A and B are shown apart, each in its own frame.
Chain A
Amino acid sequence: MIFSELYSAYYNTVAAVLKAACGHPLEKGELRRIIGEKAFGESALNIAPALAEERWQLLRADGTTPIAHAPTMPLTALQLRWLKAISLDPRVRLFPEAVPDLPDVEPLFTPEDYTVFDRYADGDPYADEAYIRHFRLILRAIRERTPLEIESATGRGSRVRRCLMPEYLEYSEKDDKFRLIGSGCRWGNTINLGRILACAPSERLLEPGPAARPEQAAVELELRDRRNALERVMMHFAHFEKEAERLDGDRYRLRVIYDREDETEMVIRILAFGPMLRVTAPEDFAELIRERLRRQKMFLS
């Protein structure tokens, strides 16, 4: 069962509470802290009284517990089956610590059981040994907070060498590509992993710092709910921070926050919805759409 108390925040929290109580009598402050860290916003209202009132007979009034060992639970059959399924994914080879060998476990799913049908065809080469080597080196550098010297190909075919502090890896499911997001390099802190030609630890001293968040922008849209457009648009833009408001009848106003560097992508994503979605602000964004339509009108006249 995927929906089971075995995986619940409450069971995990109580396991942490008992682990602490195995070592020493637990004080109320520590109990509250563990609950605050592990459970939901209102959980303290339930967990603390349930233990104190001995409805859950796991913690005595003096803060001690009859539980002798820090609680552990074996992996469930479902967890093992999911891990086995993951071990069949080509991207698993990118990770230096392999999924444990599970010879007697039936996978929950195999690559034949599901397809991402609209993923772009030029995804990263996950079976390429050099790519795997670069990925692992970068992941280790991110973990250890050490700078990297990276040579990569530009979109125009030239080479560029950069030294940066790797911060994290960004994966796009649509592009099926990884990008390294770094900091400390004045020539740019984003590198497509598929374009890396050489990668090595750097001896240079770089000030580690948070990766700069790309500049944000907002676009306001008016939506007409025809041909199920409301549902399609809301799903399509679901991964952005957004706000929606009903205007009247079948008209809605939508405000979407996006990264300014993705402006062209936003333009074509909005165009895809045709007359069901119209840019109302800002005017310079609306002009980008207008200009494309102006050019289109010349072609199909």
Chain B
Amino acid sequence: MAYSELIKNFSRIREYMREFYLYGFKSRDEYATRRSGRSYDDERRRLESWLGDAMRFRQTTEGKNVFISIDTRVSRHNPLYAAWKAKSFTDGDITLHFVLFDILSEPETALTLAELMERIDGYLQGFREPRMFDESTVRKKLKEYADEGIITAERDGKTVRYRRAGAEMQPDSDLLDFFSEVAPCGVIGSYLLDKQGAHDGHFAFKHHYITSALDSEVVCSLFLAMRAKRAVTLEIAWRRREWIRERQAVPLRLMVSAQSGRQYLMVYLPSIQRIQSVRTDAILSVRPGAVCDRFDELRQTLDGMAPHLWGISTQGRTGQRLEHVEFTVHYEKNEPHIHARLEREKRCGTVERLDGNTSRFSADVYDAGELMPWIRTFLCRITSISFSDPLLEARFREDLREMYAQYGLEGGAEA
């Protein structure tokens, strides 16, 4: 098929964009082992067209590497949203779209299919070879638009009249600028912004992760399922997409990380009768199922787990119900911000001030391993540490010894 910068399906470009944005060190040959070289060339060309200067190149001994580089503190709108605005369509789709909405430009205009057909023909007469739309095509398009909520179909006996839907509002551009970046499914806010044309942005964003944009379709489907309290069938890629499996699940809540850029779905899996997390970027598709009678009960169960959830893991390495972790930090009199930091970042943990220079953090969580990276951010102040899982504690101390060695501090005192 000839190259087009528009796409019919989002899944392939989702994978490429993620790779180009997150990694950027792979050569064409590496991509070509999984897909054809032509597929790589097409996707790369599309991204160049959509993203412009954000696409960068580097020549290495392995070949030319392509990557996406974006400083999200400078960029005021998520550039990855561009991909969602590249859906393909037919020549008939676009012609019919503008003609239909021109015929139905006034809210009071309501026409039958036959009346619409007659008027459509009138629009196309001035062209060299006027296109002929058949009734079934127009009826199908009207139904599609009614499903999208932009056309209403009013039945009067056997007659159906079509009218444009009433919602024509223009929400505030500042509000859209902000929420299109920070709210889930922000691309929908970006669609609304596109209707408003160019304007000065008044917001910038720090610690701003934009890759979640690529999961918008999955997340939107999950929200729709949650609102309807439905079970779903998830198609999930495991182990770096080495294999794909379907799982029946009840989606309960989206868990967003502001510190790692990841998004997770908390789900109840009937097959193992447990609540677990699934990364949204591993979910390839969502198929809605039947309404789940237990939805409220399952969500309540999830709420009840919150006091022991550090992140998203509902089970640690040991398989114990709860794992304990605690550590103390030392600070000087002029460093009150350290205790404040513990308070600010403690999540489900507890912080006690032991004296003017020492504070203790403790927590009973499902998976103490989740705390390791955070605990390391206090390195230089940790005066004692203990995990109920001895292997986890050994790993913490072993990691520390390795770090000492990496920075030339090996030997001497044992950690």
Contacts and interface: CB of A to CB of B under 8 A. Distances in A.
Contacts of B262: 235
A239 to B, nearest CB: 4
Contacts of A1: 148
Interface of A: 1-12, 14-15, 18, 37, 40-43, 46, 50, 54-58, 60-61, 66-69, 71-80, 82-83, 85-86, 89, 91-92, 95-97, 99-100, 106-110, 112-122, 139, 142-143, 168-176, 179, 181, 213, 230-232, 234-236, 238-246, 252, 257, 259, 268-269, 271-275, 278, 286, 289-301
B167 to A, nearest CB: 4
Nearest to B189: A82
B203 A168 contact: yes
13 contacts: A46-B5, A66-B126, A68-B102, A80-B167, A83-B171, A99-B171, A118-B260, A170-B205, A175-B207, A179-B206, A239-B261, A252-B25, A295-B380
Nearest to B369: A227
Contacts of A239: 71-73, 207-210, 261
B297 interface: no
A221 to B, nearest CB: 12
Given A41-B49, A173-B207, A66 B149 contact: no
A77 B149 contact: yes
Interface of B: 4-6, 10, 21-25, 45, 48-50, 52, 58, 60, 62, 67, 69-74, 82, 84-89, 91, 93-95, 97-99, 101-102, 105, 122-124, 126-131, 148-150, 164-169, 171-172, 174-175, 178-179, 182-185, 187-189, 191-192, 194-195, 198, 201-211, 216-217, 220, 223-224, 226-227, 253-262, 299, 309, 311-312, 330, 340, 343-347, 372-374, 376-377, 379-385, 397, 399-400, 402-404, 406-409, 412-415
Contacts of A273: 373, 376
A296 B148 contact: no
B380 A109 contact: no
B221 to A, nearest CB: 8
B22 A92 contact: no
Contact of B130 (A40, A57, A69, A79): A57
Contacts of A268: 377
Given A57-B124, A68-B102, A74-B166, A3 B87 contact: yes
A108 B224 contact: yes
- B166, B404, B407: which has the most chain A beta carbons within 10 Å? B407
B400 A54 contact: no
A241 B22 CA distance: 11
Given A245-B60, A272-B374, A78 B182 contact: no
B175 A92 contact: yes
A166 B195 CA distance: 27
Given A5-B94, A15-B98, A175-B207, A85 B183 contact: yes
A43 B98 contact: no
Contact of B192 (A41, A79, A95, A257): A79
B413 A296 contact: no
Contacts, number: 394
A97 B60 CA distance: 51
Contacts of B223: 108-109, 113
A117 B89 CA distance: 39
Contacts of A292: 379-380
Contacts of A241: 69-71
A227 B175 CA distance: 40
Contacts of B406: 275, 278
A115 B49 contact: no
B267 to A, nearest CB: 13
A244 B164 contact: no
B311 A168 contact: no
A288 B198 CA distance: 44
A3 B217 contact: yes
A170 B177 CA distance: 12
B185 A171 contact: no
A226 to B, nearest CB: 10
A301 B129 contact: no
Contacts of B5: 40, 42-43, 46
In the A-B complex, the 4 residue pairs with the closest CB atoms: A301-B413, A77-B149, A292-B380, A97-B172
B318 to A, nearest CB: 17
Contacts of A109: 184-185, 223, 226-227, 254
Nearest to B348: A117
A58 B127 CA distance: 9
Contacts of A107: 227
Contacts of B376: 271-274
A103 B129 CA distance: 47
B346 A57 contact: no
A269 to B, nearest CB: 7
Given A66-B123, A271-B376, A71 B94 contact: no
Contact of A169 (B179, B204, B381): B204
- B45, B185, B198, B379: which has the most chain A beta carbons within 10 Å? B379
